[in-house]
Structure 1
Amino acid sequence: MTSGPGGNSGATDEGVTGAPGGNSGATVMERRGWPKSKWVEMAAVVLVLLLTAVPVGWCGREDFTGALTFTGRMTGAALMVVALIMFLGIAAVVDYWVRGPISNLGVVALFSTGVALLANALLLIQTWSDGERAIFPMLFGSLTVGSILAIVVVWRALDEIPAPKRVAAALIVSTILGIGNFSYQNLYQPYRRGAKPLVHLTVGKAVLNRDGKAFAVPVDIKLENHSDVGFYVLGTEFHAMGERAPVSKSDRLYRQWRIDAERWGKYREKLPLTRRDVYQPGQLVAAQPWIAPGNWIEANDEAVARTVVQLPIDTPYDHLAFYATANIARKDRLGLGRLEQDQYSWRGAKLPKWAQEKGGGDSIVYRFDMKENNAIDRHTRKPRCVTIYWRFNVHGVDVAESITRKGEENRVNTAIEDSDARERYGLIDVLAGPIEQTLWEIKSRR
């Protein structure tokens, strides 16, 4: 009889002490929103933050130390701050999951996951629209989804959010700053009003030599950059064309003008339609580069060169026409590396179809390594090179450039690809001429 009550009493005590204790623990777990696999969730949140912080911090460091513009370096600094927030978020997540409600770092964990979501979403947009490696949109797309889930997990784990208005304000400000910087870098800068240097040609007076059997014409060439950005010089050329233009004794017929106009599509020179002058296609008498490929001109600077064109006094030409061009690229859009090679068409250099002269001729080929102007594009786009073709024949000279992926130098770009490359990298062709000078006065001194 005594054992029964004792047993009953023991059983009752066990039920009283055990059940309430178990119910209390379950209630706390349910209230805090922690599932039984809380440590797996913690590891998942930490992994999302870590996989986001490492590439963001790496690209930020590269841009901060090597971006081509001040804005790019400030973007690098911002990316490094974002990465630091996420590293602090990792510590906050671990601390909150281990210590529970007594930790006051839950809000830091929530804020860091929000920053991770913003960073991954912006990187997904950029790599999807501008990248060329499929792995990066897949990576940042997965991290974007992971960041959303991480926010949900951390939100459920919090008992309450202290100062929710301040947390919301911090998230909103971070979002505005991130979107603003992204828009400035990817929307405003590429399409803002472009700068364009000028090439000036100044032709001096022809001068006879001592024995009167030859003469020389001095020519000054100046590249002026009045903009606030620097430019790489991809290629330059100066050339002089000798023109024969005998005067007809009678007016030329209208159909002869048509014949002259048809020549405009065959030669680089556009000879005028005249009533009495019978212009013949010009012939090259002198040509040379006047700035070596790979050099550059800084903002608000100028480069000057002088050359001399010499001819015998009994030259058959009636006029000289002078031309100069400079093919340049903005220094804030690309980085020009070392000269990889220079080749010659007459020694077997391969040329794309568009660079081959229709009427015969030769080309000198320069090829430079190239880098993008920011770390994200350098890692998500395929490496490229800049190829310059210095082309010449008896009817003139010109310079053409092409930006292609490495290994595809001889591939013919589409018109859209060429247009996109010119816009993206700030490619500009600056032309001067023709500057015509008659030779009648100097030849009359014979």
Structure 2
Amino acid sequence: MEKTPRVIVEPPDSRGLRAVSMGGTVVGSAWSPSGLRKLLRQLGCPEGIDLEDRRVIVWREAGSEIWPDRTWRRRTATALMMAGLILSMALLTVVGTPDAMGALTFAQRITGFLFILSGAVQGLAALAALDHEGKRQFKYSGALVLVGALIALITESVFLFTWLQEREPTLYFPVSVLLFAWSLWALWRLFHEQVWRVIPHPKRFATGVALSGLLAATNFAYSAVYQPTSAPFYVTLTAKFGTPHTDPIRPFIHVPLALQVENTGKVPAYILVDKYLVYGRSAEYSKDDGGLRDWKKALETESDAELHVSESGSKTISAGQFAGPGYWLHPGEGHIKEKVIQLPRSVEYDLLEATLSVVAMRMDRGKINLRQLQQAHPSWQKKEGRFYCAECSGMIIHEGKVRHNNNIINITRKPRYVTVLWQGTPEEFDYSYAISSYKIDFEKSPDLRELRKEIAREEDRYGVESRSISTRVSIAALMASV
């Protein structure tokens, strides 16, 4: 036994862990007598070594009966620290992956990859927490856990700040609140232990963490707010009548009509809904020179006021969709549709008018489930379920889920849907549209006041704009060219 190196057991530290050295070298640590025996067996000592033998084991400042470790408390703290970091890792990965893999702009993809990278750091911090709350064999494990807690505090603060703008209940909200509270607890615990003391340059470390958080916040603001606002968004419409031709057999005049929608901006565009209408207008001539007729009505309806036309009326000749909901245009891309309007030779109209209307949405702000949106639901068919409306006239309903191109907004708000109502009557076709959290159901009546506010807010958020153009041609000029 005299040749056996003496084992020295140091006094317990603040957590109750006692370091063990042999031959002047620290060989491990132990929480309890059983842990000490296990360590000594690994070092080659006899299995039945007497812990009270002072010739073999020296107890510094505290005897063999002093083991202040509270196993349940230590294991609970370890489990809580690891659980918070793992949950934060999962949340950051869920938030970042859709943007990293499917965002339209480079800045949004960078934001997604930053969240994934932060999630990876959280995973490493969870492994480090196991060591830091244990025997601390890795010198910088506490610093790594500190970084993980700071990341959780910063990201959850961003999530909660974004949530406060709308205050809508989501599944992610309680998770964010829980992680925010956890990050405060973790930081309090780590600062109490002064884990930064092992960091070679703590001030530089703090500056680096602060700059990283500032960079992430700036990139989020740029990708979510500035870039989707600053990039030009233009959808140009064209409507033009061509040279008419007579039908050699039937008493018709064939008038070509070319309609075009072109993306002349810098960002791709979804077309939510569109329509074209062709009117025939007739008028009665008046010699009265008393000024513009019906000018008040013209101001109210944004129509024309004329001097020599005493009465005018219009009748729909042709109506329909230009392409239908759910197609898109990349910058510089256009879509052309050519129609032939058939008029009787004995037409009584004075003017022929064509209008083209389009509602477009910026693709750099949202992504629509086009398979859903392009599916038509006739309101008069009972098999359509919640789209069925017995009291409605002829109506075709389109609905598709839309997600914002910054996933932070998606997880802090209820799902949004694009809803298009295409209505027809014997006189005219018309449409209405909305982006809101309301899924159409004719058996449930929403709060219309709140719904209108939400629709206006979502149109601005997703960059929805309406475009319309009209062109007129004289029937006399058409007949003269035949």
With the length of structure 2 as denominator, give the TM-score of the two structures. 0.75
Assess if the C-alpha contact under 8 Å between 1:333 and 1:372 holds in 2: yes
Kindly state the Cα deviation for residue 320 of structure 1 after the two structures are TM-superposed.
Answer: 0.6
Aligned match of 1:175: 213
The 3 A distance-change label for structure 1 pair 99 and 320 is same
Kindly state the Cα deviation for residue 89 of structure 1 after the two structures are TM-superposed.
Answer: 1.0
The residue identity in structure 2 corresponding to 1:313 is: R
Assess if the C-alpha contact under 8 Å between 2:153 and 2:180 holds in 1: yes
Kindly state the Cα deviation for residue 362 of structure 1 after the two structures are TM-superposed.
Answer: 4.6
Aligned match of 1:236: 274
Q: Deviations over 1:132-162 (max 9, x none)?
A: 3255333312321221221221233246232
Q: In the comparison of the two structures, how many residue pairs are matched?
A: 412
Q: 2:223 aligns with which of 180, 185, 199?
A: 185
Aligned match of 1:149: 185
Aligned match of 1:8: none
Kindly state the Cα deviation for residue 319 of structure 1 after the two structures are TM-superposed.
Answer: 0.8
The residue identity in structure 2 corresponding to 1:171 is: V
Kindly state the Cα deviation for residue 18 of structure 1 after the two structures are TM-superposed.
Answer: 7.3
Assess if the C-alpha contact under 8 Å between 2:298 and 2:304 holds in 1: no
Q: 2:368 aligns with which of 336, 342, 346?
A: 336
- Report SS of the residue matched to 1:100: coil
Assess if the C-alpha contact under 8 Å between 1:368 and 1:387 holds in 2: yes
Q: 2:310 aligns with which of 264, 278, 281?
A: 278
Kindly state the Cα deviation for residue 252 of structure 1 after the two structures are TM-superposed.
Answer: 5.5
- Report SS of the residue matched to 1:180: helix
Q: Deviations over 1:261-303 (max 9, x none)?
A: 437757xxx5522221234221101112221322111122111
Deviates more, 1:400-409 or 1:323-332: 400-409
Aligned match of 1:430: 467
Structure having the larger proportion of residues in helix: 1
The answer to whether residue 350 in structure 2 is matched with residue 318 in structure 1 is yes
The residue identity in structure 1 corresponding to 2:335 is: A
Assess if the C-alpha contact under 8 Å between 2:283 and 2:309 holds in 1: yes
- Report SS of the residue matched to 2:237: strand
Q: 1:40 aligns with which of 65, 69, 76?
A: 76
Q: Deviations over 1:157-212 (max 9, x none)?
A: 24623221221122112211221122223432454465121101122232222258
In structure 2, C-alpha distance between the alignment counterparts of 1:404 and 1:289, rounded to whole Å: 23
The residue identity in structure 2 corresponding to 1:405 is: S
In structure 1, C-alpha distance between the alignment counterparts of 2:303 and 2:251, rounded to whole Å: 29
Kindly state the Cα deviation for residue 242 of structure 1 after the two structures are TM-superposed.
Answer: 0.6
In structure 1, C-alpha distance between the alignment counterparts of 2:367 and 2:60, rounded to whole Å: 71
RMSD across aligned C-alpha pairs, in angstroms? Answer: 3.4
User: Which ranges in structure 1 are unaligned for 5 or more consecutive residues?
Assistant: 1-12
Assess if the C-alpha contact under 8 Å between 1:190 and 1:423 holds in 2: no
Aligned match of 2:455: 418
The 3 A distance-change label for structure 1 pair 158 and 47 is same
Aligned match of 1:207: 245
Q: Deviations over 1:1-55 (max 9, x none)?
A: xxxxxxxxxxxx9xxx9793369x89x99xxxx9994443333222221221111
Give the fraction of aligned pairs with identical amino acids, expressed as a percent.
Answer: 21
Aligned match of 1:82: 118
Q: 1:20 aligns with which of 61, 64, 73?
A: 61
The 3 A distance-change label for structure 1 pair 232 and 20 is same
In structure 2, C-alpha distance between the alignment counterparts of 1:154 and 1:281, rounded to whole Å: 79
Aligned match of 1:3: none
Matches within 5 A, 1:31-430: 37-100=73-136, 103-130=139-166, 132-158=168-194, 160-162=197-199, 163-189=201-227, 191-192=229-230, 195-210=233-248, 213-248=251-286, 250-251=287-288, 253=290, 257-258=293-294, 261-262=296-297, 271-337=303-369, 338-339=371-372, 341-344=375-378, 362-393=394-425, 396-405=428-437, 407-410=439-442, 411=446, 412=448, 414-430=451-467
The 3 A distance-change label for structure 1 pair 422 and 352 is farther
Kindly state the Cα deviation for residue 68 of structure 1 after the two structures are TM-superposed.
Answer: 4.0
With the length of structure 1 as denominator, give the TM-score of the two structures. 0.81
The residue identity in structure 2 corresponding to 1:107 is: A
Assess if the C-alpha contact under 8 Å between 1:62 and 1:76 holds in 2: yes
Deviates more, 1:131-140 or 1:42-51: 131-140
Assess if the C-alpha contact under 8 Å between 2:277 and 2:354 holds in 1: yes
Assess if the C-alpha contact under 8 Å between 2:275 and 2:322 holds in 1: yes
Kindly state the Cα deviation for residue 226 of structure 1 after the two structures are TM-superposed.
Answer: 1.8
Assess if the C-alpha contact under 8 Å between 2:278 and 2:319 holds in 1: yes
Kindly state the Cα deviation for residue 129 of structure 1 after the two structures are TM-superposed.
Answer: 2.3
Assess if the C-alpha contact under 8 Å between 2:224 and 2:406 holds in 1: no
In structure 1, C-alpha distance between the alignment counterparts of 2:242 and 2:203, rounded to whole Å: 74
Q: Deviations over 1:295-315 (max 9, x none)?
A: 111122111111111101101
Kindly state the Cα deviation for residue 386 of structure 1 after the two structures are TM-superposed.
Answer: 1.9
The 3 A distance-change label for structure 1 pair 281 and 136 is same
Aligned match of 2:13: none
Kindly state the Cα deviation for residue 421 of structure 1 after the two structures are TM-superposed.
Answer: 1.5
Assess if the C-alpha contact under 8 Å between 1:131 and 1:377 holds in 2: no
Q: Deviations over 1:304-363 (max 9, x none)?
A: 11111110110111111110111222222222221364244566866799xx8xxxx754
The residue identity in structure 2 corresponding to 1:185 is: S
- Report SS of the residue matched to 2:155: helix
The residue identity in structure 2 corresponding to 1:286 is: S
Deviates more, 1:305-314 or 1:395-404: 395-404
Kindly state the Cα deviation for residue 406 of structure 1 after the two structures are TM-superposed.
Answer: 5.2
- Report SS of the residue matched to 2:61: helix
In structure 1, C-alpha distance between the alignment counterparts of 2:59 and 2:141, rounded to whole Å: 33
Deviates more, 1:275-284 or 1:36-45: 36-45
In structure 2, C-alpha distance between the alignment counterparts of 1:175 and 1:35, rounded to whole Å: 36
In structure 2, C-alpha distance between the alignment counterparts of 1:261 and 1:443, rounded to whole Å: 34
In structure 1, C-alpha distance between the alignment counterparts of 2:127 and 2:265, rounded to whole Å: 48
In structure 1, C-alpha distance between the alignment counterparts of 2:88 and 2:258, rounded to whole Å: 56
